[in-house]
Amino acid sequence: MFDDPQVTFAAGGLERAAYLRGDAIALAALLARPDAKVVLLWRGKPLCSGTVLAFLEADHPVLAKASTPFFIGLRGAVPFFACDISAWEPPADQRPDAVGFVDASLQQHPLIAPTMAFAELRSVMATLPPFEAELVASAKALFSWHDTHGFCARCGAKSEVALGGWQRHCPACKTQHFPRTDPVVIMLITRGNQLLLGRSPGWPEGMYSLLAGFVEPGETIENAVRREVAEETGIEVGRVRYLASQPWPFPTSLMIGCAGEAQSEVIRHDPVEIEDALWISREGLAEVFAGRNERIRQPRRGSIAAFLMAEWLAGR
């Protein structure tokens, strides 16, 4: 229903140019071009300059100890690649913040300009231009998949990077492995003028959002919506329809936004699944977006949950 650039990580206009992935000579030539740009990641955090991505040239000295470049795609004639330097250890005073919900720490590499630093993607995603957001989401998800799929799932042998980063090939049994995307339904569940919200354990105080859950094997999107809502809140859902989607590289998900019509009202939330759930009126949600609700904080900018709630609030 929606294909809106307001949905972060979507509609960026990246030309993935899959036809080039199997041509090692062509990729090497693209990487050698003076206009080639490299996105650099460190343990999932992209290199940024303020609130936008920072791009390096392919011959930058920091890339000498980086991973094999992955080909992400084109913008016009300009090629974009991504590299990872997760083996680098930052100084002790720049260690990541493992306590907060979002890692606010910044890491500055000594070989990179001091105006650039590695930043948590969640902290900058709402300020990135659409193209940069799609580019870094693709790169981050790709490296996350490679990080956990270094060995063949069929025979256990060490696999090798292929197709410019878009495949792993097993030299032992010849099996080809492709990057995985995990489908997740996120639900705008309404009953009249009421919207269903919930919060997960460990979230910051006052943070509520739309319910969400993974789609199981052999399950339709519609049934996943009904099952997840019933499991988490005891609410029965009738009609379900698709609204919008968002790549969610934390680590490798695709958020599938759906609207569902609640057939019941009494909430019986499962404390194992969620910490709390509640109904909120359209007028109450307007107060949340305005920052005037004492119990619920404003939705996080850039998330599909915030986008879907804003569309419902606006009557769209």
Binned average pLDDT, 10 residues per bin, the chain of 316 residues: 65 94 98 98 97 96 96 98 97 83 92 97 93 96 96 97 98 97 98 96 94 98 98 97 95 97 95 94 97 94 94 91
Contacts of 238 (CB under 8 A, 6+ apart): 260, 261, 262, 263
Q: Which pLDDT does position 1 carry in this prediction? A: 46
Domain ranges in the chain are: 18-150, 182-313
Amino acid 157 reads: A
Question: Which CATH architecture fits 182-313?
Answer: Alpha-Beta Complex (3.90)
DSSP reduced 3-state for 119: coil
Q: What was the pLDDT predicted at 102? A: 85
| Of 212, 15, 6, nearest in space to 125 by CA | 6
* pLDDT for position 97: 80
What pLDDT shows up at residue 143? 97
For residue 99, the model assigns a pLDDT of 67
For the stretch 267-310, pLDDT in tens is 999 888 899 999 999 999 999 999 999 999 999 889 999 999 99
Write the pLDDT tens digit of every residue in 54-73: 999 999 999 999 999 999 99
CB 185 within 8 A of CB 221: yes
